[in-house]
Amino acid sequence: MNKNLLITNSIPYVNASPHVGHALEFIQSDTIARYYRLLENKVLLLCGSDENAIKNVQAADKSKINLQKFIDEHAKEFQQLAESLNVKFDIFQKGSDQKHHFISSQRLWRLCNENDDIYKKDYEGLYCVGCETFYTKEELGENGECHEHPGRQLEKVIETNYFFRLSKYQNKLIDLIQSDSLKIYPEKRKNEVLGFLKQPLRDISISRLNERARNWGVPVPNDSTQKIYVWFDALNIYQSGIGFGWDDKLYKEWWPAKIHVIGKGIVRFHAVYWPAFLLSAKLKLPQSLFVHDYLTVNGQKMSKTIGNIIDPFSLIKKYGTDAVRYYFLREISPYSDGDYSEKRMNEVYSSDLANELGNLLSRITTLAQKDNLSIDKTNLVISQIYPKNLKKHFDNYEFNLVLESIWTNIRSLNKEINDFTPWSKQANERKTFLISQVQTLNLIGHQLLPFLPETAEKIIQATQNKILKIQPLFPRLK
Ligand SMILES: [Zn+2]
């Protein structure tokens, strides 16, 4: 144990304010980070902002705000969202940071170039600004639109670009993924990537002319007419944030990443492009990818057109940080699309949180206080906190299943109280019963630490030393 583990959240574009989909991923990354910390590792949780994309430039234009200011303000909002979700990013690396990120990305470029993997050629292709990537006709839907951005026309681009020899790494990538050297969670995404790798890989454009980049982004080393393609630099935020190209000692302490947390729409960039760049630069590869699905709202995809975009800040304000964390970790299965609805949120809040967990703690502490109960602080070792069945789910990042199992336990504690009716029993008999209940609740508090950090702390505090009646964990909604 006591390993250094780098865990990364994906790097959001900052062309708009964060939505609940971002909140979902922030919560997942943070839960993973807290879990590994609980297992006594040293953990660094990294996020950042993808600031060199054309869509950022376009959005700033539209809002008539100075580009840097526009980007800084949005990046700030993402950091504020993290804070209000009690998500602790140890590092937030901005893509427009010339001092660290530009130098770092140019270093990666030079290493690939030294390996003879970068060459210049004329190119014509269809570009989706939403994805910031080129597509071939076969990869698009019937109407010629990309699957991630229906309703948006692709741009036809003709220019001279630098290309990366992706094709050279095809077999190596297949080996890595097949053997789980680069492990992809869940299995279905691994198979999807392997399916994609069955077709011949084409080399990819990794630069664009200054004019098309609107002169925004990381300059290509030794060519003042071009900027580095946004994915090449955005992926490198995982490294530039921890010293690659500017602090070798720091970089060696933390790279390679233990896990990249990403959404299903960007698997190809992470499972194909990114490891290929790293192989070319002769750098170590990340160990794994956790690929979550998307959030729908009332069964529909979130979109501005439908007008069902949910502001995560108002959600947190209404229900509280831990209730939102609970919903996203328990109700949303990490590996399939999950739905958010206010109706379900209210149900979960009052049944799972207020009634089952909150009531349990308040019933037990009230009884224990009456009996003047005092229990020594427990020093649980990690194997006691997560018995095998829970650990197995956690190691597969199946947060919903871990919580389900914890809640089964919570329900049986409630049932035991109802069945035993401690208030009707002799003092001695009641004491034995309450001690066992308090201890189990204390264990549950520890188990909940990665999920609901604040609530978990309250439960732990309330179930050790002199037991006092506590305030409701989840007060009635107004
Ligand atoms: Zn697209």
Give the integer Cα–Cα distance in Å for 217 and 102: 8
DSSP assignment, residue 296? E
Please check whether the domain covering 342-466 is classified as CATH 1.10.730.10: yes
Percent of the chain with pLDDT over 70: 100
Cα of 288 from ligand 1 centre, angstroms: 25
State mean pLDDT over 261-271.
96
State mean pLDDT over 342-371.
96
Q: What is the DSSP string of 70-106?
A: HHHHHHHHHHHHHHHTT---SEEEETT-IIIIIHHHH
Residue 431 annotated as catalytic: no
Cα of 150 from ligand 1 centre, angstroms: 8
State mean pLDDT over 103-120.
98
Kindly give the interhelix angle for 67-84 and 312-319, rounded to the nearest 10 degrees: 30
Q: Write down the catalytic residue from 64, 198, 304, 478.
A: 304
Report the sign of the C-alpha dihedral through residues 243, 249, 251, 254, in that order.
negative
Cα of 133 from ligand 1 centre, angstroms: 7
State mean pLDDT over 213-236.
94
Residue 149 annotated as catalytic: yes
Cα of 38 from ligand 1 centre, angstroms: 39
Cα of 129 from ligand 1 centre, angstroms: 7
- The DSSP bridge partners found for residue 45 are 7
Residue positions counted in the chain = 478
Place 217 in a pLDDT band, splitting at 50, 70 and 90.
very high
Place 148 in a pLDDT band, splitting at 50, 70 and 90.
confident
- The predicted-structure confidence for 383-416, as pLDDT tens digits, reads as follows 899 999 999 999 999 999 999 999 999 999 999 9
Q: Write down the catalytic residue from 22, 190, 227, 258.
A: 22
pLDDT above 80: residue 305: no
Q: What is the pLDDT of residue 379?
A: 79
Cα of 452 from ligand 1 centre, angstroms: 35
Give the integer Cα–Cα distance in Å for 331 and 353: 13
Give the integer Cα–Cα distance in Å for 386 and 383: 5
Cα of 266 from ligand 1 centre, angstroms: 10
Q: Where are the beta strands (DSSP E) in 320-452?
A: 338-340, 374-375
Q: Write down the catalytic residue from 55, 94, 100, 146.
A: 146
Higher pLDDT: 16 or 101? It is: 101
CB of 331 closer than 8 Å to CB of 338: yes
Cα of 131 from ligand 1 centre, angstroms: 4
pLDDT above 90: residue 443: yes
Cα of 159 from ligand 1 centre, angstroms: 20
Q: Write down the catalytic residue from 19, 258, 270, 393.
A: 19
Give the integer Cα–Cα distance in Å for 454 and 436: 23
Cα of 146 from ligand 1 centre, angstroms: 5
Percent of the chain with pLDDT over 90: 85
Q: Write down the catalytic residue from 55, 74, 112, 128.
A: 128
Cα of 154 from ligand 1 centre, angstroms: 8
pLDDT above 70: residue 1: no
State mean pLDDT over 29-42.
96
Cα of 175 from ligand 1 centre, angstroms: 28
Higher pLDDT: 96 or 55? It is: 96
Q: Write down the catalytic residue from 88, 149, 183, 391.
A: 149
Residue 393 annotated as catalytic: no
DSSP assignment, residue 50? B
- pTM score: 0.95
Higher pLDDT: 456 or 158? It is: 456
pLDDT above 80: residue 464: yes
Give the integer Cα–Cα distance in Å for 271 and 273: 6
State mean pLDDT over 166-173.
97
Backbone torsions φ then ψ of 320, nearest 5 degrees: 95, 155
Residue 147 annotated as catalytic: no
Residue 415 annotated as catalytic: no
Place 302 in a pLDDT band, splitting at 50, 70 and 90.
confident
Q: What is the pLDDT of residue 151?
A: 85
Mean pLDDT rounded to a whole number for the chain = 95
Q: Write down the catalytic residue from 74, 131, 190, 292.
A: 131
Residue 128 annotated as catalytic: yes
State mean pLDDT over 72-99.
97
Place 378 in a pLDDT band, splitting at 50, 70 and 90.
confident
Give residue 233's identity as a one-letter amino acid code: D
State mean pLDDT over 158-185.
96
Q: What is the pLDDT of residue 39?
A: 92
User: What's the token pair of residue 447?
Assistant: 């188990």
pLDDT above 70: residue 293: yes
CA separation, residue 91 to residues 151, 355, 366 (Å): 36, 37, 42
Q: Write down the catalytic residue from 147, 172, 284, 301.
A: 301
Residue 100 annotated as catalytic: no
Residue 88 annotated as catalytic: no
Highest mean pLDDT of the ranges 128-137, 371-380, 448-457: 448-457
Q: What is the pLDDT of residue 123?
A: 86
Cα of 468 from ligand 1 centre, angstroms: 56
- The DSSP bridge partners found for residue 160 are 122
Give the integer Cα–Cα distance in Å for 230 and 372: 63
Give the integer Cα–Cα distance in Å for 161 and 22: 32
- The predicted-structure confidence for 186-209, as pLDDT tens digits, reads as follows 999 999 999 999 999 999 999 999
